[in-house]
Amino acid sequence: MIIGLPREQEINENRVGLTPDNVKELINDGHQVIVEHQAGLKSGFNDEAYQAAGATLVEEVAKVWAAEMVVKVKKPLKEEYAYFHKGLILFTYLHLAADSDLAQALLDNEVTCIAYETMVDKGTLPLLKPMSEVAGRMAVQIGAHLLEKNHGGPCILLGGVPGVKRANVTIIGGGVVGFNSAKLACGLGANVTIIDLNPQRLAKIEHTLGCPVQTLISNEANIHESVVNSDLVIGSVLVAGRRTPILVKEDTIQQMKSGSVLIDVAVDQGGNFETTHETTHSEPTYVIHGVTHYAVSNIPGAVPQTATIALTNASLFYTKEIANKGIIQAAKDNHTILTGINTYQGHITNLAVSESQDREFVALETFI
């Protein structure tokens, strides 16, 4: 198979879909890899490393997209839609639930899309997990900085010092992002509250963290009270393939202390806060009702080498399965790959995406 690796076009997206070591493995399996000039440079991988691995380097991005399969990190931007072609396999984060324009372009061009974020393995999301781990830890780091005076914050140190109150941190969602946020926030000494619908998950978090946290069942009253009394709130609730639920209403945000911080890790599927709109690493924050909002959709892009290696450690196995077997046989042999296929031959083949988009659903089993 001919596999294309383009340079990411989203602002300040510094990750890349394949490392030179990944490319070497694919070439050893008999595939050809076409890499766009400087595709991996911002992740610390130069063109020479890709050439040494056996890749073909090109300047023209159209030649990369002409491949049979394109491996990326983020969903294509509108200027990349022109490169779509019938039969193309696109393997990347898509987040189609909140992007009807992209969904239409993919359907019109009969692109086969495998979305990292909808791939399920025994109840887990194996290609979302590594980036969720990164984003969860970074959310606390970012929040700690935004609470500082020189970032417009209320001059609070997360962990306080002896004789001074610690900051209050609320984490909505006890999944991978939430757990990793709680782990770091606890380690820094903050007062941490975790809110989730699942009491078993909350019990496991209490048992696993090794530091004291307040756990609360998710309901409107608990969310309102905890958020209003917090210095930092992290939203981390995501439903695979669907628009994320709005869990914090604007009237609650109006009652927060001036200078408090909201970080919406779920922004790429709509966000958990009613006042959320997507931002970038170049302009990451905005203020509403005196509350600083951080809603960058590609938080791990700020640490691209760590994030790229973590992601490709998990994704390469599936990339090789698809390249070695073709998409249909790979889907037959590996249920996780089947769960990742969002579009095929002009149809939506993921039920959650079809419902979020209000489009017809066609089960992939119809074709295989």
pLDDT digits over 157-203, tens only? 999 999 999 999 999 999 999 999 999 999 999 999 999 999 999 99
51 and 171 share one domain: no
Q: Above pLDDT 70, what percent of the chain?
A: 100
The pLDDT value given to residue 79: 97
Q: Residues with Cβ < 8 Å from 224, sequence gap 6 or more?
A: 249, 252
* CATH number of the domain enclosing 48: 3.40.50.720
Residue 106, annotated as binding a ligand: no
Distance CA(248)–CA(256), nearest Å, equals: 11
Report pLDDT for 238.
85
- Does the annotation list 226 as a binding residue? no
Q: What CA–CA distance (Å, rounded) separates 242 from 358?
A: 11
Residues 51 and 157 in one domain: no
The answer to whether 353 is a known ligand-binding residue is no
183 within some domain: yes
Q: Both 295 and 337 in a single domain?
A: no
pLDDT of residue 66: 98
Q: How far apart are the first and last CA of the chain?
A: 20
State yes or no: pLDDT of 314 exceeds 80.
Answer: yes
pLDDT value of position 366: 87
Which member of 264, 268, 293, 347 is catalytic?
268
> Does residue 139 share a domain with residue 107?
no
Is 251 annotated to bind ligand?
no
Instruction: From 177, 193, 186, select the one nearest 137 (Cα to Cα).
Output: 177
Domain hosting 239: range is 129-302
Would you say 78 is a known binding-site residue?
no
Q: How many domains is the chain built from?
A: 2
For the question of residue 268 being annotated catalytic, the response is yes
Share of the chain above pLDDT 90, in %: 89
Residue 218 counted as an annotated binding residue = yes
Claim to verify: residue 230 and residue 312 sit in the same structural domain: no
Segment 91-142, tens digit of pLDDT: 999 989 889 999 999 999 999 999 999 999 998 999 999 999 999 999 999 9
The DSSP secondary-structure symbol of 152 reads: T
Q: Is residue 96 located within the same domain as residue 138?
A: no
Q: Is residue 118 part of a domain?
A: no
Domain check: are 43 and 182 in the same one?
A: no
Query: Count of CB atoms within 10 A of residue 207's CB?
Result: 8
> Residues 95, 99, 264, 347: which is the catalytic one?
95
Would the pLDDT of 230 be above 80? yes
Confidence of residue 28 (pLDDT cuts 50, 70, 90): very high
pLDDT in tens, 38-85: 999 999 999 999 999 999 999 999 999 999 999 999 999 999 999 999
Residue 340 shares a structural domain with residue 278: no
pTM of the model: 0.85
pLDDT of the residue at 98: 81
